[in-house]
Amino acid sequence: MTQTDYDLVIIGAGPAGLTAGIYAARARMNVLLLEKTVPGGQILVTDWIENYPGFPEGISGYDLAEKMKIQAEELGLKIETAEVHSLNLSGQSKQIVLKDRSITAKSLIIASGASPRNLGIGEDKFMGKGVSFCATCDAPFFKEKTVVAVGGGDTAVQEAIFLTKFAKKVYLVHRRDELRAAKILQERAFANDKIEFVWDSVATGMEGFFGLEGVKVKNLKTKEERTLKADGCFIWIGILPNTSFLNNAVETDEFGFIRADATMQTSVPGVFAAGDVRDTPLRQISTAVGDAAIAAVCAEHFIENL
């Protein structure tokens, strides 16, 4: 095979990427982990994690990410801050194009994760001026203020509950008449007298001059429109895969998530996917870690069989 820079390159340093790096480093592979921001991924902005095995009292997202990073680095994993611009997977050697250079690898694991979806109602105007996607980051700015939370899944409900530690009132706007979140989270939300549910409704606009002052909502059944006076708006309506660099290099589903088989291999031999970027029915830390373990071991087997 053509000489390559690395046995394995991993893109993304969330729980999936760090786990893959731990397995690859323990296997004594020549491996490089690329992360465009800081290691940890979305769990860095998760206040408290209660469903990850081994932490019965729970653990903060930051602390869990830091433990994963330290473990990986102590095993010898090299983590580099760099953004991947494109991939060339046409040959046996996988080419990863960065801003200042290109590197090659025998195998590749894509663990680039996903990002929050926008409402598309002008929230860009109020980013940093009332609009946020991260309660853990920004909730303290809204102490004793009124905020709007948009969404009905696990993240939306969990973060809305967290917001009540600071805000005096939280409107939770959901387009249906029941939540999609886990029952235990629903029970906690319904029992929290700081949360007011705005059912069958969607956010349609934002008001404010220097900063956010209100969120327009529309009831989908009655067509009634009103403005919820609020100092902040937190948005949790789903995620989009971080796959803009792929340029159709591997097969994806209609939403852009990477298709992979039971071994985490994509449509390109030797290229694997793990974590939130993958087409999967569940996106949790535990599933990302499981994906990554399979991907790393299968990447090792792929390289051995070259």
Please report the sign of the dihedral spanned by the C-alpha atoms of residue 124, residue 126, residue 129, residue 135.
Answer: negative
Give dist(CA 18, CA 6) in Å, integer: 17
- The size of the chain, in residues, is 306
Pair of tokens at residue 219: 């009831």
Please report the sign of the dihedral spanned by the C-alpha atoms of residue 232, residue 235, residue 236, residue 242.
Answer: negative
Q: Are 272 and 108 in contact (CB under 8 A)?
A: yes
φ, ψ of residue 273 to 5 degrees: the values are -130, 145
Give dist(CA 52, CA 40) in Å, integer: 15
For 138-207, give the DSSP string: HGGGGTT-EEEEE--SHHHHHHHHHHTTT-SEEEEE-SSSS--S-HHHHHHHHT-TTEEEETTEEEEEEE
Q: What distances in angstroms separate CA 168 from CA 146, 218, 239, one per listed residue?
A: 6, 23, 28
Q: Catalytic residues, which ones?
A: 134, 137-138
φ, ψ of residue 137 to 5 degrees: the values are -75, -45
Strand-strand pairing, 212-219 and 225-229 = antiparallel
Give dist(CA 253, CA 251) in Å, integer: 7
